[in-house]
Amino acid sequence: MANKKSSTTDIALRVATAMRQMGIDGLPRNYELVYEAYAGCNPDLVRDFIALGKYKTQAALDELGRKYLPHQHEASVLQRSAGAISSEMSNFMDLLTQERSSLTDYGRLIGEASQVIRNAAGDEGALGSSLEALQRATELRVTHTAEMAEKVAAQSAVMDGIQKEMAEFEAMKFVDPPTKLGNRRAFNKALARVYANAELPMLCGVVIAEVDAERRFSPGQIEALSDHLVTFYGNLIRQAFPSSALAVRFDGLRFGFLFHTAEESEVTRLVDLLRAAFQTVALRDPRTGRNLGHLTLSAGACMSDRADSAFDLSAACERALMEAKGAGGDQIVIYGRGDEVPAGKEWMIYRAS
């Protein structure tokens, strides 16, 4: 755990130092953007961040934030959408006003025609003129109605587009772009729901896992293969993971899972199925296609009834993962509490089968 804290402190210090060197204001949204760029979780963000040059303006940083961290600029997106909706509603009200005016004119023509018909008696010329006027008014009315329908359809399409944009924006806040899994915000949100009722938390099992890349590759090889490893194992997890559960990527090759069961044996079984998938699908070099073998997975798990809060639950999983990695990797450690575990221990190790 000390190593983990040291690593986190190190990158935080690097981010703060980099921000000072580049003259970036210490705003929360700037810190998160620079942190994400230095963590290297999103290669596209890293590339675009570097492309801004050594000295980055606030406008350029905000533009990058709107693209990759949309939750930071939720207010501006909502304001823009609200403005568009207000404009379309104003246009629709104008259409209704025009329709009411058109109906009034049409009603007046019908009234006049009816009066002429009643007074015409035997005057065929006046009657014919009145009927012609009524026919022209009816034709204009039909044309106007068709135009009205087209305008309403166009406005409906605009409103559908705004609704789709808002839905995509909402979804992006909780998605990890390289893997299409959830992200840490999705994980934190799910953990908060577990303890929404502190007196009666939702029963579930939570797992934090990390691909044991260092058991197979040197640090230099891991760095060279970083993007490929992330997308490869992210896709593998997405395909192998139960659709009813939550799978997210934190950073690098670290992932989080939430299973809707608090049975240790079932959580262990599901993690073992995932680990088996790692052993089934071979990793290949993206440049040469050469078979690079199979990587293993270490995991730390904790059941929700063994923690008092979302923070405690996450910390317990992190501690269990550190125990699994420290014991050589390729195993799952279950964090436990109470008399069911040996004295002086707060975890139980289930070695790989």
- How confident is the model over 239-292, as pLDDT tens digits? 887 777 899 998 889 999 999 998 999 999 999 998 898 888 889 888 888 898
Average pLDDT of the residues of the chain:
76
287, 204 Cβ separation under 8 angstroms:
no
328, 342 Cβ separation under 8 angstroms:
no
Q: What is the pLDDT of residue 333?
A: 93
Residue 338 pLDDT exceeds 60: no
Q: What is the pLDDT of residue 199?
A: 78
Cβ neighbourhood burial of 297 (10 Å; 0-12, 13-18, 19+): buried
Element spanning 43, H or E? helix 43-51
DSSP 207: E
Mean pLDDT across the stretch 65-90?
58
Q: What is the rounded CA–CA span in Å between residue 197 and residue 64?
A: 38
Mean pLDDT across the stretch 131-138?
66
Q: What is the pLDDT of residue 75?
A: 47
How far, in whole angstroms, is CA 266 from its chain's centroid?
28
Residue 83 pLDDT exceeds 60: no
| Distance (Å) of CA 51 to CA 55, 65, 216, 296 | 10, 14, 33, 36
Mean pLDDT across the stretch 117-143?
63
Q: What is the pLDDT of residue 258?
A: 95
Give the chain's largest Cα–Cα span. 115
Side-chain half-sphere CA neighbours of 176 within 13 A: 29
Q: What is the pLDDT of residues 161-177, one digit of tens each?
A: 666 766 655 656 788 88
Q: What is the pLDDT of residues 277-322, one digit of tens each?
A: 888 888 988 888 889 888 999 999 999 989 888 888 988 999 999 9
Q: What is the rounded CA–CA span in Å between residue 163 and residue 270?
A: 37
**Residue predicted with more confidence, 235 or 76:** 235
Q: What is the pLDDT of residue 184?
A: 85
Q: What is the pLDDT of residue 170?
A: 60
Whether the full predicted model's pTM is greater than 0.85, yes or no, is no
Q: What is the token pair recorded at 300?
A: 């730390």
Q: What is the pLDDT of residue 130?
A: 63
